[in-house]
Structure 1
């Protein structure tokens, strides 16, 4: 039986550089060729680079990772899921890149690896597989869903 592939959300990439437990998990998956990223997560992560040199180093590092492209089908799926969220009046409560990342994972048939409660709520709509990179609440003292985004 093949082992699961994962698309990592931006939360995972940021926390990889802050928490040994996340680094160990990510590095093991990367070495096995089982962890990837999409253009959305790459852009979000790179936007937090503190200077051009770090940006270039991170981009070069990311170039060696498994890529899962954001496709037109993924974008259509993100819009469809957004409409379903609107039926529950949840559509204003999500970062739009999270919808694109989740749809990309779904289109590629891989599990989404994250540390962000938005993906639990998206999975309530889509039924797609997702997994917290570490137990919810174990890494951050504030909320799990957005405080990790301030700096890489």
Structure 2
């Protein structure tokens, strides 16, 4: 069974008709995992204390993908490789995305997203990523 590390970009598009069917299938099969960086980003979007608590409860039901010192070491390594690729490529990927990508890579999960940053990261790491729907379709 494939476990998906869900990025915030995928989470926020989950209710869209183009995404909902696949999202529900993956969620129903318990194939959705989340790291704490994404959890913080999702909870940041809560519009009230009650909304925050409801979101936190929903997120608690998902598999946890760890972030630890190895995750940061890998994020630094990928950022360095991007810097050495020339053209300031290390500045083209958000720091949070480097951390999320490293967590997904080290946990062996597929990074599920709607964010071109992960294409640049995967170009360095070779890790498995998947757009929730084809790029540019939303």
Normalised by the shorter chain, which TM-score bucket?
Answer: over 0.9
d(CA) in 2 for partners of 1:53 and 1:95? 30
2:123 corresponds to which residue?
A: 124
Query: Per the alignment, in what secondary structure is the counterpart of residue 80 of structure 1?
Result: helix
**1:48 matched residue in structure 2:** 45
Counterpart in 1 of 2:100?
Answer: 101
Partner of 1:58: 55
TM-score by length of 1: 0.85
Secondary structure at the aligned position of 1:49 is classed as: coil
Q: Is the counterpart of residue 24 in structure 1 residue 21 in structure 2?
A: yes
Q: Which has the higher helix share?
A: 2
Moved over 3 A (4+): none
1:12 pairs, out of 10, 21, 46, with 10
Taking the aligned partners of 1:27 and 1:39, their CA distance within structure 2 comes to 22
In the alignment, structure 2 segments of 5+ residues that lack a partner are none
Equivalent residue runs for 1:77-92 within 5 Å: 77-88=74-85, 89-92=88-91
The total of aligned residue pairs comes to 136
Alpha-carbon contact 1:26-1:35 (below 8 Å) kept? no
Q: CA RMSD in A?
A: 1.1
Scaled by the length of structure 2, the TM-score of the pair is: 0.93
CA contact (8 A) 1:38 1:70 kept: yes
